[in-house]
Structure 1
Amino acid sequence: MEALRRLDADGLVVIVPQVGCRVATYDACDISNFFAVFAAFEGGIAGVPAARRTEQDLQRLQEVHERIGSICVEPDEVRRGHGYRLLNREFHGVIHGMARSIIEEISLRMWDLSDFLISTAGPSRPLGSALERRHADHQSIYEALVSGDGAAARARMEEHVLDNVSLIRGDLSA
């Protein structure tokens, strides 16, 4: 029951008293609002490492970025999307580590809801279909961090996270 309460608190399920629970559903407005807030949150985090980064931080970020690039050629869209989802969280996790911030737990819960919305509210396998675009986003974030441009890192990250709304809508050409 405690696990269900946690999932309910994270917005992934809805507990229905005296009945059980059901998977949470969200309308387009809820999804857009969530990603607007999430984009601002992640953008704020991405701007900080531009001033705090070390060569070791940048090397670790580049390694994860290159691993994402290697799955772009995976022919199986399901495997490509799953691999990207895992490496994407690692890429963003490295950026969080570079920020040396205390908000990691909050971020993880937001990432869980983001993954949930991408997986349940839109077309099947949207990440595998948009991997090249997502990888290009990461490249621009990485370049902003390498150059020490916090404003650009923030802006690129906000655009990247907001793009999830397009993925959910099924607009893979955006």
Structure 2
Amino acid sequence: MSVVSVPPPAESTPAAQAGRPRVTRAEGLRIQLADEITRGLLLPGTTLDETALATRFGVSRTPVREALRELAASGLIDARPHRGAVVARPSVERLQNMFDVMAELEGLCAGLSALQMTPPERRQLEQLHAEMSALMRQGDFNAYREANEQFHTSIYDGSHNGYLIEITLGTRRRLSPFRRAQFRALGRLALSHTEHDRVVTAILRGDRDSANAAMRSHIAIVHDAYEQYAQNV
């Protein structure tokens, strides 16, 4: 197994950066490395050396270690004590289990949001959904992907259940690399927006069961879209 060196990420344009939440160095590293793994730029079995990564990104080894821990939790690397880390892929069964749990948690959030969201929160969700429609029509992949995280977070928050929000965010963090990668599947932006529309409509109607079912279906499709993309990498 050898250390593979890939080019550093291209700098984002000011337009692409507008409206994005600020991320820590470790989070930025995690996103970049996860992107390279899911795109096949870093193949399974590739050794990830902390010192080499720190040099490449111009950071200390501390954020590198943190990013590698996050990637290990997602199943994208195998972190071996005193032996370094290597690129891996979660088993089909494990990834299915993770998405199954994610669907149940997000479905519960959507159902509770249909009952618990305040009028200002409902208006904010509706506005965000409309803004994402514009991003979808423009084909702005990066901006839509970032807005998608805000969309789902707003639904978690709308449940007004602190413990549910905590465990849902934790599960989403583990699945984040796969959820981001699925947007590369052909036509995925338009389909994602259609699925979101069903969720938003049910929440605004106050229909708990329909919101739950629409969100669970959406997450199942996200999983299928990732698998479709991964087969072509």
C-alpha distance in structure 2 between counterparts of 1:40 and 1:91, whole Å: 17
Alignment of 1:14-33 (within 5 A): 14-33=78-97
The amino acid of 2:168's aligned partner reads S
Say whether residues 1:134 and 2:192 are aligned partners. Answer: yes
User: Taking structure 1 as the reference length, what is the TM-score of the superposition?
Assistant: 0.82
Is the Cα–Cα contact under 8 Å of residues 76 and 90 in structure 2 kept in the other structure? no
Greater alpha carbon shift after TM alignment, 58-67 vs 101-110: 101-110
More deviation in 13-22 or 85-94?
A: 13-22
Give 1:119 shift.
4.8
Q: In structure 2, which of residues 158, 163, 184 is the aligned counterpart of residue 98 of structure 1?
A: 158
Give 3-state SS (helix, strand or coil) of 2:137's partner.
Answer: coil
8 A Cα contact 1:43 1:154, kept in partner? yes
- Aligned-pair Cα RMSD in Å: 2.2
Change (3 A) 1:11 1:101: farther
Query: Contact 1:12 / 1:24 at 8 angstroms: preserved in 2?
Result: yes
Q: Which structure has more RCO (C-alpha within 8 Å, separation ≥ 6)?
A: 1
Cα distance between partner residues in 1 of 2:73 and 2:184: 26
Give aligned pairs, total. Answer: 164
Gaps of 5+ in 2: 1-61
Larger Rg: 2
Cα 1:119/1:24, change in 2 over 3 Å: farther
Instruction: Name the counterpart of 1:66.
Output: 130
**Contact 2:109-2:158 at 8 Å conserved across structures:** no
Matches within 5 A, 1:1-174: 3=66, 4-9=68-73, 11-75=75-139, 80-102=140-162, 103-119=164-180, 125-126=184-185, 129-170=187-228
Q: Secondary structure at the match of 1:90?
A: helix
What is the CA–CA distance in structure 2 between the aligned matches of 1:153 and 1:13, rounded to whole Å?
35
Separation in 2, partners of 1:144, 1:119:
25
Conserved? CA contact 1:15–1:22, under 8 Å: yes
Residue range with higher mean Cα deviation, 154-163 or 28-37: 28-37
Q: What per-residue deviation string (whole Å, max 9, x for no partner) do you get for residues 62-99 of structure 1?
A: 11101110111224xxxx33222211111111111111
* Contact 1:10–1:109, Cα closer than 8 Å, also in 2: no
Is 1:45–1:154's contact at 8 Å kept on the other side of the alignment? Answer: yes
Letter matched to residue 148 of structure 1: G
| Partner Cα separation in structure 1 for residue 70 and residue 135 of structure 2 | 33
Kept after mapping to 1: 8 A contact 2:74/2:175: no
In structure 1, distance between residues paired with 2:179 and 2:123: 29
User: What's the secondary structure of 1:41's corresponding residue?
Assistant: helix
Displacement of 1:6 in angstroms is 4.7
Cα distance in 1 for residues equivalent to 2:180 and 2:156: 23
Quote the residue 2:37 is aligned against: none
